[in-house]
Structure 1
Amino acid sequence: MFEIIRSAERGRAHFGWLKSQHTFSFGDYYNPKQMGFSELRVINDDEVAAGAGFPTHGHKNMEIISYVLEGKIAHKDSAGNEEILPAGEFQLMSAGKGISHSEYNASNTDRLKFLQIWIQPNQLNGAPGYQQKDFGQAVGLTEVITADGRNGTLTIKQDASLSQLILLASQQQEIQVKPGRAYYLHLINGELTVAEQLLKPGDGIKLTHLTELIAKAGAEPVRALWFDLPG
């Protein structure tokens, strides 16, 4: 079974310094049909103007992932982490019992584009945590976040994993699936056929009750995120 969320169907917010597209209900965008999927709660496609950003604000009991598409994030939090997150890197902040942080465009001249992703944890009120890593640009499916931190991946407090999918033009990738799991794919660049459905940039697809899956790129290279979630 599948359900596609087209890019044009996403919620939109425009605050001058911030342009954002919301896959699921967030802020002033409310869609009762899109309240999340499994433990995945938020995928925001954010564009931040030069020198602007999100001032200090708090989170609790949420696994917050940032993936930079263009530019750099200047991150600072109440746990003492002060980092620069460049394009291509993944950041995972476990809010735990509570953490405050700010996120700014590190450039005064160039825009920042990044995906902000929230996953609900299965461990509550723990110590906050911060992780950051570049997993390269290898062709194929590369795990970047897992529940047990295997093979150098970032460790999330949930029975879930996140992988980056990079394909060359016309390349196809068999993706291993298991009964009882839920899967979500968010397409960043290129065109991709999944479950015989054509996806374009910004589209996402919910997938359940799978026995097999093959993803095939179109005429351009593909970059996507693949979520393996509790069923």
Structure 2
Amino acid sequence: MLKKLEAENHAQPFRGPFTITRVLPGGILGNKTADPAFGSLANIDHAVMKKGLTIKMHEHVNDEILSYVGSGVMHHKDSAGFEASIARGKLMMMNAGASFWHEEKVKDDEVEMLQIFVRPNETNLSSEIQFHDKPVDNRNWYVMVGPEGSEAPLYVRQNVYILDAHPKAGEELEVPTYDGHKPILYVMNGEITLQGLTIGKQEAVTDLVNPLPPLVANEDTTIVLFFVDRNAPMSMEGTISGLRQE
């Protein structure tokens, strides 16, 4: 049975030049529990960052963070000595591990991006950073992230896969499957329909029993698809990924 996470349920812990809509994927299950995650997929921060914004150097511990930019350019600097401009098609994975510091700046047009937080399988792993250039308008699925040892270009220390697609209005797209994993599909921008169920911007859909059915894009759409092993061990010590509901 399809389950939908509606946009009206999301909190906004930050508003103003740096606005975060915090998507807690566990809410799609309808459980009123202390843990808002979908297995090790802790949260999706859908951020809008205004021109001139600087988020000063700050620390993450035990967070695996994928930065996925939809528009604009975010300038990154970190404790490992890397500086990079992150834009559409330029992915960044911060495997924070025991400690990782980074800073973000927006110098020009505003940035819309996702920061996707995954709980690692162990606490206090090594601190690493990865970058990958991908197609910007792939209409079919592109595998961006997978577990260590998989064929994905970026790895996460967890049994999670992350894909994206950019179907055009009117196009139909089959949804793949991964054995032992449950899907959750997030609409960053646009709108899709699955079996008569409409999923719009900042909404998500899952089915814990059956594979997700084919989707139709009602307009040009950006979608991010997660496959999560909900039984995998995970650290609850993350700076952001370890947060629970009060």
Deviation string for 1:117-138 (max 9, x for gaps)?
Answer: 1000113322111111221022
| Alpha-carbon offset, residue 205 of structure 1 | 1.8
Give the gaps of 5 or more residues in structure 1: 26-30
- Counterpart residue number, 2:16: 16
- Counterpart residue number, 1:125: 124
| Matched residue type, 2:141 | L
When structure 1 is superposed on structure 2, of 189-198 and 46-55 the one drifting more is 189-198
1:1-231 alignment to 2 at 5 Å? 1-24=1-24, 32=33, 35-107=36-108, 110-136=109-135, 137-148=137-148, 150-151=150-151, 153-178=153-178, 180-211=180-211, 213-218=213-218, 220-231=219-230
| Alpha-carbon offset, residue 157 of structure 1 | 0.8
| Alpha-carbon offset, residue 106 of structure 1 | 3.2
Same amino acid, percent of matched pairs: 23
Deviation string for 1:16-69 (max 9, x for gaps)?
Answer: 3211211129xxxxx857712111111111111111132111111110111111
Instruction: Give distance in 1, aligned partners of 2:166 and 2:8.
Output: 23
Checking the alignment, whether the CA contact within 8 Å between 2:183 and 2:212 is kept in structure 1 is: no
The answer to which structure has the higher strand fraction is: 1
Instruction: Give distance in 2, aligned partners of 1:75 and 1:87.
Output: 14
SS at match of 2:8: helix
| Matched residue type, 2:208 | T
> How many matched pairs?
223
Larger relative contact order, structure 1 or 2 (CA cutoff 8 Å, min sep 6): 2
TM-score, structure 1 normalization? 0.88
Query: Pairwise CA RMSD of aligned residues?
Result: 2.1
